[in-house]
Amino acid sequence: MIVHTDYLWFNTRKRQEFIRVTDQVAAIVKASGVSDGTALVSAMHITSGVYVNDWEDGLINDFQVWLEKLAPAGLDYQHHRTGEDNADAHLKRTIMGHQVVVPITGAKLDLGPWEQIFYAEFDGRRKKRVVVKVMGI
């Protein structure tokens, strides 16, 4: 059994940004030496997430429009009584999910034909990271 841990770092220009990380995760899987197992990809911040979906600009924009309807920025959230201003980012992160587990078969990510792994930033412009933990044989 191999357990291999690595990190991806982000510092986005925009407050909200979705970044495809499939290739970086695949590189970590390759470095791990695991041929059969799983990779956990988990955002280490409560205002960013990780999800698996299509790498298509229209859909990525659709997600952002949809999230803005569900958790609009700029509302008078109770969380802002603490002095913070990012309640919408916490809510959006919870909607999109904070981590994924992807299968590894034959030393490669065993994703479906249209599946890609994304880092979803909702309160960026600062240094953040994602942990990638590869486990298997």
Would you tell me which residues interact with Zn ion (CB under 5 A)?
84, 86
Residue nearest to Zn ion (CB): 84
Tokens (6 digits) for 43: 């955002």
> Is the Cβ of residue 16 or residue 86 nearer to Zn ion in the bound state?
86
Residue 72 contacts by C-beta under 8 Å, 6 or more apart in sequence? 88
Residue nearer to Zn ion on the CB measure, 32 or 86: 86
**CA triple 88-90-95, angle to 5 deg:** 90
HSE (CB half, 13 Å, CA atoms) of 25? 34
Closest separation in Å from C-beta 101 to Zn ion: 26
Toward Zn ion, which CB reaches closer, 1 or 82?
82
**CA-based nearest residue to 118, from 3, 12, 4:** 12
Q: How far is the CB of 85 from Zn ion (least distance, A)?
A: 8
* Closest approach of Zn ion to the CB of residue 114, in Å: 33
User: Which CB sits closer to Zn ion, 72 or 103?
Assistant: 72
